[in-house]
């Protein structure tokens, strides 16, 4: 246990005392989590320290019948796509067979019509649902930049800022992964429906990224050195090999490496994307990035479904991260992330809710395993070979939803409940019907494989409570505004 800090008596600390805390890969009974005024975890200590309240200068909060877990990190989101939920689950008349590509038509039709205020309302709705499901940080892969006519707004980051404003209102941490999108594809005519995404020159893109970083830095200047990590920061996201020519990709990646920014890119989601890359570059997307020296430990390959064994090895050598989005991938018919192969080579896997067909990162965690069970007709496919503890598989999947996600989006002080990290966490009600009766040894597997969102009762980001008794304080108004948006868009 870390020793008590000398300054602890001078600041307003809070100690949370739940029944169980998930720390260092296991649930512990009888611990208190102590947070300082800057929103960091100061220490985890025996709860018996708080039996005599006078000894502690701060506030003591007993969380009865609760288990406390690190906040979930959603590494891949397109918040505005929340508006097409439920509207793409029918066969389109113009196509005999639906696919990712026909779904995309519907997504474009929504993207073309949203005003800045609509973007804010849609994002608030998506982020509200994230908060209610225990997500405390999000990586927003943001590609709506321009007016519907394809003209830059007076502030070229207006829509990115609307998304960040929504995250701030909900209380989530956000990595705004600003998307570079230059073209429809190699040898493909420009598509007017993509005009809101396009910044054709890398210099334009980089100028806008620099402006956004400067604006965030101004807003986020910590009051003192004790403040926890930022609530909003910037990463870059070349959309895909299809959408970004190689020279452009080289230039913006060089910039991101120098500035140590997280870099995310859609990779090998669909076979057609891989074959287009082979046709243009003579290499798979991962092989192209590898031979160009563009993979790194700050690089996240989103989806990474249609990989060769050599691709997996290249990702492993570069220490790159894969972000799987299984609830979206099953919805879009994308395919199955080969997580068994990735784990075998030591590749870290984060998780994202992507298109927001469903916002439940624990469902993504279990789907990572379930998709492989269905494919291989086996069970416990992703269980580690070197650990036969009862919770080993669940812990591995839970790490994907927390630690690996935090690394992917650059939330370096989130993902674990240990001293020095941000106090980002959620609680589950141990009497919730979905997990009641679990022992301390099988609670994590109950949560990872069987949890219903009704169990999630409190959510905290940087020590600040954003969900109480399963509700966010802005919930009523946020939902009403979103319903009005949906009526405007679709009726
Ligand atoms: Zn995506």
For residue 242, report the distance from its CA to the centre of ligand 1, in Å.
Answer: 14
Q: Residue 472 catalytic?
A: no
- pLDDT score, position 357: 96
- How does DSSP assign 453-477, residue by residue? GGGEEEEEETTEEEEBTTB-TTHHH
Report the alpha-carbon angle 92-95-99, nearest 5. Answer: 80
User: Does residue 1 have a pLDDT over 60?
Assistant: no
User: Does residue 2 have a pLDDT over 60?
Assistant: no
For residue 329, report the distance from its CA to the centre of ligand 1, in Å.
Answer: 10
| pLDDT > 70 fraction of the chain, expressed in percent and rounded | 95
For residue 267, report the distance from its CA to the centre of ligand 1, in Å.
Answer: 10
Residue 483 CA to residue 470 CA, distance in Å, equals 21
Q: Which of 51, 46, 19 is nearest to 34 (CA)?
A: 46
Cβ–Cβ < 8 Å for 72, 405: yes
- pLDDT score, position 441: 95
Residue 268 CA to residue 174 CA, distance in Å, equals 25
Q: What is the pLDDT of residues 42-91, one digit of tens each?
A: 999 999 988 876 677 889 999 999 999 999 999 999 999 999 999 888 88
The pair phi, psi for residue 459, each rounded to 5°, is: -135, 135
Higher pLDDT, 221 or 136: 136
Residue 361 CA to residue 130 CA, distance in Å, equals 8
For residue 61, report the distance from its CA to the centre of ligand 1, in Å.
Answer: 39
Q: Residue 303 catalytic?
A: yes
Q: What is the mean pLDDT of residues 117-124?
A: 98
Residue 303 CA to residue 374 CA, distance in Å, equals 19
Provide the β-strand partners of residue 299: 263
Residues in the chain: 491
Higher pLDDT, 266 or 97: 266
Q: What is the mean pLDDT of residues 293-318?
A: 98
Which tokens is 480 given?
A: 């009403």
For residue 353, report the distance from its CA to the centre of ligand 1, in Å.
Answer: 9
Which tokens is 126 given?
A: 């998506």
Confidence of residue 228 (pLDDT cuts 50, 70, 90): low
Q: Which of 400, 469, 395, 460 is nearest to 432 (CA)?
A: 469
Q: Which of 457, 401, 350 is nearest to 16 (CA)?
A: 457
Q: What is the mean pLDDT of residues 459-470?
A: 97
Torsion, Cα of 127, 129, 130, 134 (10° steps): 140
For residue 53, report the distance from its CA to the centre of ligand 1, in Å.
Answer: 49
For residue 164, report the distance from its CA to the centre of ligand 1, in Å.
Answer: 18
Mean pLDDT of the chain: 93
Q: What is the mean pLDDT of residues 196-200?
A: 93
Q: What is the pLDDT of residues 340-357, one digit of tens each?
A: 999 999 999 999 999 999
Confidence of residue 222 (pLDDT cuts 50, 70, 90): low
202-220 vs 158-170: helix crossing angle, rounded to 10: 30
Provide the β-strand partners of residue 67: 20, 428
For residue 94, report the distance from its CA to the centre of ligand 1, in Å.
Answer: 24
User: Does residue 328 have a pLDDT over 70?
Assistant: yes
- pLDDT score, position 171: 97
For residue 81, report the distance from its CA to the centre of ligand 1, in Å.
Answer: 10
Cβ–Cβ < 8 Å for 449, 394: yes
Exactly one of 142, 266, 303, 356 is catalytic; name it. Answer: 303
Alpha-helical segments (H) within 68-201: 100-111, 116-132, 158-170
Exactly one of 354, 364, 429, 432 is catalytic; name it. Answer: 354
For residue 86, report the distance from its CA to the centre of ligand 1, in Å.
Answer: 18
Q: What is the pLDDT of residues 134-182, one digit of tens each?
A: 999 999 999 999 999 999 999 999 999 999 999 999 999 999 999 999 9
User: Does residue 8 have a pLDDT over 70?
Assistant: no
Q: Which pairs with CB-CB distance under 8 Å and at least 24 residues apart come from 152-160?
A: 153/116, 156/208, 156/211, 157/208, 157/211, 157/212, 157/215, 158/116, 159/116, 159/119, 160/212
- 3-class SS of residue 61: strand
For residue 357, report the distance from its CA to the centre of ligand 1, in Å.
Answer: 12
For residue 77, report the distance from its CA to the centre of ligand 1, in Å.
Answer: 7
For residue 259, report the distance from its CA to the centre of ligand 1, in Å.
Answer: 24
The pair phi, psi for residue 32, each rounded to 5°, is: -115, 140
For residue 52, report the distance from its CA to the centre of ligand 1, in Å.
Answer: 51
Q: Which of 434, 422, 489, 469 is nearest to 81 (CA)?
A: 489
For residue 266, report the distance from its CA to the centre of ligand 1, in Å.
Answer: 6
Q: Sign of dihedral through CA atoms 393, 395, 399, 401?
A: positive
- pLDDT score, position 103: 82
Cβ–Cβ < 8 Å for 175, 79: no
- pLDDT score, position 387: 86
CA distances from 315 to 164, 258, 296, 359, 445 (A): 30, 20, 8, 27, 29
Cβ–Cβ < 8 Å for 242, 275: no
Residue 88 CA to residue 139 CA, distance in Å, equals 24
Q: Give the lowest-confidence range in 50-64, 365-379, 444-458.
A: 50-64
Provide the β-strand partners of residue 23: 26
Report the alpha-carbon angle 348-354-357, nearest 5. Answer: 130
Q: Which of 312, 339, 308 is nearest to 325 (CA)?
A: 339
Cβ–Cβ < 8 Å for 34, 13: yes
User: Does residue 331 have a pLDDT over 80?
Assistant: yes
Confidence of residue 428 (pLDDT cuts 50, 70, 90): very high
């Amino acid at each position: 246990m870390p020793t008590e800090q000398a300054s602890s008596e001078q600041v307003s600390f809070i100690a949370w005392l739940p029944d169980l805390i998930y720390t260092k890969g296991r649930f512990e009974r009888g611990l208190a989590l102590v947070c300082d005024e800057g929103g960091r975890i100061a220490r985890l200590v025996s709860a018996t320290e708080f039996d005599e309240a006078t000894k502690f200068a701060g506030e003591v909060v007993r969380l009865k019948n609760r288990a406390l877990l690190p906040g979930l990190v959603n590494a891949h989101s397109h918040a505005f796509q929340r508006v097409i939920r439920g509207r793409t689950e029918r066969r389109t008349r113009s196509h005999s067979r639906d696919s990712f590509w026909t779904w995309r038509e519907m997504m474009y039709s929504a993207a073309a019509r949203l005003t800045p205020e609509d973007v804010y309302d849609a994002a608030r709705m998506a982020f509200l649902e994230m908060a209610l499901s225990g997500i405390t940080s999000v990586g927003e892969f943001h590609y709506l930049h321009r007016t519907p006519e394809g003209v830059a707004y007076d502030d070229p980051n207006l829509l990115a800022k609307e998304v960040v404003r929504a995250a701030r209102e909900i209380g989530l941490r956000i990595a705004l992964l600003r998307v570079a999108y230059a073209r429809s594809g190699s040898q493909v005519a420009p598509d007017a429906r993509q005009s809101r995404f396009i910044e054709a020159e890398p210099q334009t893109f980089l100028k806008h990224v620099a402006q956004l970083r400067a604006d965030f830095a101004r807003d986020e200047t910590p009051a003192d050195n004790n403040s926890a990590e930022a609530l909003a920061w910037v990463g870059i996201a070349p959309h895909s090999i299809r959408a970004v020519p190689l020279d452009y990709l080289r230039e913006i990646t060089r910039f991101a490496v120098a500035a140590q920014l997280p870099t995310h890119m859609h990779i090998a989601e669909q076979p057609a994307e891989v074959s287009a890359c082979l046709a243009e570059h003579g290499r798979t997307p991962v092989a192209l990035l590898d031979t160009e020296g563009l993979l790194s430990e700050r690089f996240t390959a989103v989806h990474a479904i249609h990989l060769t064994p050599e691709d997996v090895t290249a990702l492993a050598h570069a220490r790159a991260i894969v972000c799987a989005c299984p609830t979206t991938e099953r919805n879009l018919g994308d395919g199955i992330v080969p997580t068994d192969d990735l784990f075998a080579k030591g590749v870290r896997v984060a998780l994202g809710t992507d298109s927001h067909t469903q916002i439940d990162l624990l469902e993504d965690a279990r789907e990572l395993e379930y998709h492989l069970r269905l494919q291989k007709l086996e069970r416990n496919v992703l269980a580690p070979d070197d650990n036969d503890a009862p919770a080993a598989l669940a812990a591995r999947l839970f790490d994907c939803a927390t630690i690996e996600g935090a690394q992917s989006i650059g939330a370096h002080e989130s993902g674990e409940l240990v001293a020095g990290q941000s106090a980002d966490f959620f609680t589950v009600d141990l009497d919730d019907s979905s997990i009641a009766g679990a022992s301390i040894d099988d609670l994590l597997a109950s949560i990872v494989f069987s949890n219903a969102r009704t169990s999630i009762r409190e959510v905290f980001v940087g020590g600040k409570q954003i969900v109480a008794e399963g509700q966010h304080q802005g919930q009523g108004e946020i939902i009403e505004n979103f319903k009005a948006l949906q009526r405007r868009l679709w009726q």
